[in-house]
Amino acid sequence: MTTLQTTTSAPAGRIENPSLWSRLKFNRNFMAFWFMLPAGAFLILFLAYPLGLGVWMSFTDERIGRAGMFVGLENYEWLWDDAIFWLSVFNTILYTVVASTIKFAIGLYLALLLNRNMPFKALIRSIVLIPFIVPTVLSAIAFWWIYDSQFSIISWSLTKLGLISHNIDFLGDPNWARASVIFANIWRGVPFVAITLLAGLQTVSPSLYEAATLDGATNWQRFRYITYPLLTPIIAVVMTFSVLFTFTDFQLIWALTRGGPVNATHLMATLSYQRGILSGRLGEGAAISTAMIPFLVAAIGISWFGMQRRKWQQGSSND
Amino acid sequence: MYRRSDRVFWRECMSSVHIRDVRKSFGGFEVLHGVTIPIEDGAFVVLVGPSGCGKSTLLRMLAGLENITSGTISIGDRVVNNVQPKERDIAMVFQNYALYPHMTVADNMGFSLKLRGANPADIKKGVARAAEILALTPLLDRYPRQLSGGQRQRVAMGRAIVRNPQVFLFDEPLSNLDAKLRVAMRTEIKELHQRLKTTTVYVTHDQIEAMTMADKIVVMHDGIVEQIGSPLELYDRPENQFVASFIGSPAMNFLKGKVKVNGSASFEAPNGVNLPLATAPANSDGRPAVYGVRPEHFTIADDGAEAEIVVVEPTGSETQVFANLAGEQVVAVFRERHQFAPGDKVRLKPNPSVVHLFDEATGKRI
């Protein structure tokens, strides 16, 4: 009541010109800035700064224990002529393409399977998640034993079955080593793809399948015309993540092969670690890491523009 | 609104549907206990009942989305128990429309033709024809997201029409619409049926929808058919107390008491209230029974039973009066504008020629 009286009796000029502070207090953008500051500071400190520092370092000849000088593109020129670097690029692309494709195929198949009604559904879904839950290094050690040149259970089984006469050197032969690390990566990565796609599948209304059944769709047509198009947004997100994780993989390779034999399984991440940290040439290591950025940006770009095209998801603009 | 010549485009092929002693169990739990419904060629049949009565399950069995535990369903001359849904030549409109969100209106409507392998020109022609009937032509390039509820509903119907099926199935198609649109769509669906004359089975829990649209209503309750008949048959001669209470709004009033035959027949309600009966069945003196009277069958008369008014609700065209009669609350509807106030005493007299008498134990009509 008092407020009302004050407002009516006060001169109009005073109400229209409140102090800067009181205007700021109610400014949404000003407040939003302060609310975003903690998260922003965190991201800048732990993501943007190291990234920037890494890129900067790739233009210097910094070594462990010695500050670097700006050397321009010299590190990149070295890498351009470095066969091992190009081998690691090839390995990384091979590793990413093969592992991601197979992870997608198996993950989608598992998701479709798990989306059905079956006994012990919850239990089976939890079991599928196990490879994802086990720490990478632990599972890598398990695989190390499985792939061991003398004690490999696979070699042992195949020998007992009479299929091979001597042990396979899984991690000693370049191609076997590549196949082995790819298999281990697939084993670890499938649950992520499967469970995420399963979540996507569950958002598809069952009545759409019923409508499609009545429209005369076969199982395959239901997948082709209903499931797949409705799942594409989530496929794009999952596969982007899957590709990024696979492309930047380090732990599994390091625990299994350390890039060997003869660099056959060296990925860009492991090579960068070896050059930058173990050999101490920080500048060169940073350059290898920085060289990964274009590939990652391309992967994100593909999924981003892939998602942009889906008009049916967007709001109700009447275009 | 619709041109007569359009009719020629649609195949003159319709079908009767026969549901014979159909049962359905989920696990060991039986939800349909032997349902028999004959549906004539070209009829508009409404399955109505409270939720959980099995009407939707029955419709889904007709569509082939649920197995038939026992009994037979035939469409035309063919028993379809083991026929795949797509071979049954039926089209269904779902409660939530089930439009494919990633397809335009035209693609939604043409999907079944596409799956059938029709050539693109024929698909376009069929879609255009259905779109014209439903006034959807300007919307053909939109996505379901960009449509209003009523438009989506029409697309769902368009999808059914394009297929030119033998039987249309509707599963509570109007329950997601607001009240005004529901009334409009009701008329539209009925008009469509009058034009296409395709056999239609329509499921709803709304008795007004059933009354206004149906040629024949099937009232279901707890997995059995309570009564089958035309809307007015059900209204005028309900077979049992359930149908009597379910059909009609406001619902029929029921009073428990005894039949009295003392020269002339009458009905003795509690508190010594005597209600008139035109006739009574033979040897029914003293038989306990339920007396049913529709709200509009009360009149104010000096020889009526005394009742105390509780609430008066005018709706303009009529006035609903809630009153205490013989210890029960009853509702009466008057088209005349009486000046009533709560607490007033009035004398209500049921019209004896249209009252209903039900057995107290079984609820069956006497």
Residue among A316, A306, A299 nearest A232 (CA): A306
Q: Across residues A174-182, what is the average pLDDT?
A: 90
Cα gap A226→A95, rounded to integer Å: 31
Cross-chain residue pair A207–B90, CB shorter than 8 Å: no
Cα gap A273→A281, rounded to integer Å: 10
Cross-chain residue pair A312–B102, CB shorter than 8 Å: yes
Indicate the residue type of B363: G
With beta carbons under 8 A apart, name residues in chain A contacting B91. 214
pLDDT for residue B217 is more than 90: yes
Q: Are B328 and B344 in contact (CB under 8 A)?
A: no
pLDDT for residue A34 is more than 80: yes
Task: Calculate how close chain B gets to A305, using CA atoms only, in Å.
Answer: 17
- Cα A225 to its chain centre, rounded Å, is 28
DSSP output for B34-57: EEEEEE-TT-EEEEE-STTSSHHH
pLDDT for residue B170 is more than 50: yes
pLDDT for residue A314 is more than 70: no
Interface membership of A77 toward B (CB under 8 Å) = no
B94 three-state secondary structure: coil
pLDDT for residue B1 is more than 60: no
How far apart, in Å, do the first and last CA atoms of chain B sit?
A: 47
> Which of B111, B123, B147, B175 is best to mutate for the A interface (most A CBs within 10 A)?
B111
Cα gap A54→A51, rounded to integer Å: 5
Cα gap B44→A155, rounded to integer Å: 71
Task: Give the tens place of pLDDT for each residue, A58-88.
Answer: 998 888 888 878 888 888 988 899 889 999 9
Residue among A79, A185, A173, A76 nearest A132 (CA): A185
As a whole number of Å, the CA-based R_g of chain B is 25
Task: Give the tens place of pLDDT for each residue, A103-148.
Answer: 999 999 999 988 887 788 888 888 888 888 888 888 888 888 888 8
Neighbours of A221 (CB within 10 A): 16
Ranges A153-162, A264-273, B282-291, most confident: A264-273
With beta carbons under 8 A apart, name residues in chain B contacting A210. 63, 65, 92, 94, 98
- How high does pLDDT run on average in chain B? 88
With beta carbons under 8 A apart, name residues in chain B contacting A312. 101-103, 143-145
Neighbours of B110 (CB within 10 A): 27
pLDDT for residue B171 is more than 70: yes
Cα gap A48→A36, rounded to integer Å: 16
Indicate the residue type of A258: R
Q: Are B27 and B183 in contact (CB under 8 A)?
A: no
Q: Are B352 and B288 in contact (CB under 8 A)?
A: no
More confident residue, A14 or B282: B282
Task: Give the tens place of pLDDT for each residue, B222-259.
Answer: 999 999 999 999 999 999 999 999 998 899 999 999 88
Cross-chain residue pair A210–B98, CB shorter than 8 Å: yes
Q: Collect all residues with Cβ–Cβ distance below 8 Å to B100 and sequence separation of at least 6.
A: A208, A211, A212, A225, A226, B107, B108, B111, B144
